[in-house]
Amino acid sequence: NAGVTQTPKFQVLKTGQSMTLQCAQDMNHEYMSWYRQDPGMGLRLIHYSVGAGITDQGEVPNGYNVSRSTTEDFPLRLLSAAPSQTSVYFCASSYTGVHGYTFGSGTRLTVV
């Protein structure tokens, strides 16, 4: 099925560990983005990309890295996990400025 695929769905990390959240879409969307959702704060944009080779920071980029080597993939890297990064993470994609967003199913990350 076409859409946005996020992996893993759940992850527990120890403080200081690193990991990569994967996001892939098969709709040839130009725009891809990562968000975190925390109770009482709503969704916040972490990083986004308007095309392969182009990334930019959103509202809360600290502690996260991204890259966009292909149109399909937009991984999110946590280099040294902190408890403050415990959250639910969503990846989304769209045709820039034309259609709405397609969201992945989310990754629930706990940092202990």
Binding stretches for another protein (CB under 8 A) = 33, 35, 40-45, 48, 56, 58-59, 88, 90, 92, 97, 99-103, 105-106
Q: Please tell me the distance from the alpha carbon of residue 13 to that of residue 69, in angstroms, as a whole number.
A: 26
**At its nearest, how many Å lie between another protein and the CB of residue 44?**
7
Q: Please confirm whether the linkage preceding 8 is cis (ω < 30° from 0).
A: yes
CB closer to another protein, 35 vs 74: 35
Nearer to another protein, 2 or 97 (CB): 97
- Residue 17 or residue 44: which is nearer to another protein going by CB? 44
Residue 87 parent element (H or E): strand 87-94
> In terms of CB distance, is 69 or 105 closer to another protein?
105
Contact 6, 91 (CB under 8 A): yes
How far is residue 74's CA from residue 51's CA, in Å, rounded to a whole number? 10
Nearest distance from C-beta of residue 26 to another protein, angstroms: 17
Cβ–Cβ under 8 Å, residues 42 and 95: no
Tell me how far, at minimum, the Cβ of 69 lies from another protein, in Å: 21
